[in-house]
Amino acid sequence: MKKIIITGATGLIGKKITSQLIERGDEVIIFTRDAKKTKTIFPLAKECVEWNYKNSFEWQKYLENYDAVIHLAGANVFSKRWTDVFKKEILESRVQSTRSLIEAIKLCNKKPEVFISASAVGYYGDAGENTLTEDSIAGNDFLAQVCKVWEAESAPIEQVGIRRVIIRTGIVLSLNDGALKQMLPSFKYFIGGALGSGKQWFPWIHIDDIAGIFLHALDNKKLHGAVNAASPKILRMKEFANLLGKIINRPSIFSVPGSILKLALGEVANVVLASQRINVNKLIESGYKFKFENLEDALKDLLKK
């Protein structure tokens, strides 16, 4: 049994990870902005602690003698248009929360053994046909720079001997939220198809696998640094849309031009229009076994539910 602190437990990925940690018998403390509500979601969590990352006095003590911190908290980048105010929130919610955690951990007498943080393949920006390993450079767009600064904020933890793992997450497939949920209605009404040109590489991953990768990072002491987290059998957007249409018996003949997406969604549209040909050899070589390598298997599993 491990003793885990987790932030962002009520998000899409966080709910899956937290549930699995509790199911396997780990002791979980959740740092959250709404402790009462979170406790109703996870009644078997050891404790739900009111978390204001700008003030560490009330939660710092909980880090003492715990084995690991899994840090997922951050404003949902897809929740609204990227105004200047919201872009500031996206950045600060990640950078300041990470900084507060790192500073608090440094003050512990018995520090956690590992710090695992979320990031995103958005780190690479729009990379076209280039194959992207963890050593590839960061992109120049807003989300890429957010990821770059966010990841750098936790680097000092390694100076005090704590293993650090950064999970660069691909496009998570789930019926609860994300790209798949947003695309399904258009297919059901026979107007589905690819987003943008359809030529861009689409780094998808099943919700079960992204949760599994975080647990793998927790348990595998040899894994450290940045880790790409997407299916090893990556497809282009048009291939993704065609297969989705085939599985739900709907045509995939329409497409939404990038210009229309940008008009409707603003700057956030760049995230789904970017091409990221992700290489996951580091993850595979560390011993992780994917539950869903093939998109068809992943979609059939999700859609049967």
What tens digit of pLDDT does each residue of 118-133 get?
999 999 999 999 999 9
DSSP H helices in 2-83? 12-23, 35-41
Q: What is the DSSP string of 169-198?
A: E-EEE-SSSSHHHHHHHHHHTT--EEETTS
Domain assignments of the chain as residue spans, ordered by start = 3-170+203-230+278-290
Give the burial class of 62: count Cβ atoms within 10 A of its Cβ; 0-12 exposed, 13-18 middle, 19 or more buried. Answer: middle
Distance from C-alpha of 168 to C-alpha of 270, rounded to nearest angstrom: 17
DSSP state of 8: S
Is 230 a residue whose pLDDT tops 70? yes
- Nearest-5° angle of CA 125, CA 126, CA 127? 100
| Confidence at residue 152, expressed as pLDDT on a 0 to 100 scale | 98
Using CA atoms, how far residue 163 sits from 36, 220, 226, in Å, is 32, 11, 11
Evaluate whether 124 touches 139 at the Cβ level (below 8 Å): yes
12-51: string of b/e by CB count within 10 Å (b at 16+)? bbbbbbbbebbeeebbbbbbbeeeeebeebbeebeebbeb
**Tell me, which fold does domain 3-170+203-230+278-290 have in CATH?**
Rossmann fold (3.40.50)
Average pLDDT taken over every residue of the chain: 94
Amino acid (1-letter code) at residue 17: I
pLDDT (tens digit per residue) in 41-95: 999 999 999 998 887 678 989 999 999 999 999 999 988 899 999 999 999 999 9
Phi then psi for residue 170, to 5 deg, are: -80, -165
pLDDT (tens digit per residue) in 259-284: 888 888 889 888 889 999 999 999 99
| Confidence at residue 305, expressed as pLDDT on a 0 to 100 scale | 60
The residues pairing with 168 across neighbouring beta strands, listed in sequence order, are 119, 228
Contacts of 22 (CB under 8 A, 6+ apart): 28, 42, 44, 45
| Number of Cβ atoms within 10 Å of the Cβ of 197 | 14
Question: In the chain, pLDDT over 70 holds for what percent of residues?
Answer: 99
| Confidence at residue 219, expressed as pLDDT on a 0 to 100 scale | 97
Q: Taking residues 241-270, what's their average pLDDT?
A: 89
Q: Taking residues 91-102, what's their average pLDDT?
A: 96
pLDDT band at 148 (very low <50, low <70, confident <90, very high): very high
Q: Taking residues 220-230, what's their average pLDDT?
A: 97
Give the burial class of 57: count Cβ atoms within 10 A of its Cβ; 0-12 exposed, 13-18 middle, 19 or more buried. Answer: exposed
| Confidence at residue 159, expressed as pLDDT on a 0 to 100 scale | 94
**Helix, strand, or coil here: 164?**
strand
| Confidence at residue 93, expressed as pLDDT on a 0 to 100 scale | 95
Q: Taking residues 277-292, what's their average pLDDT?
A: 98
Is 171 a residue whose pLDDT tops 70? yes
Distance from C-alpha of 186 to C-alpha of 189, rounded to nearest angstrom: 5
pLDDT band at 188 (very low <50, low <70, confident <90, very high): confident
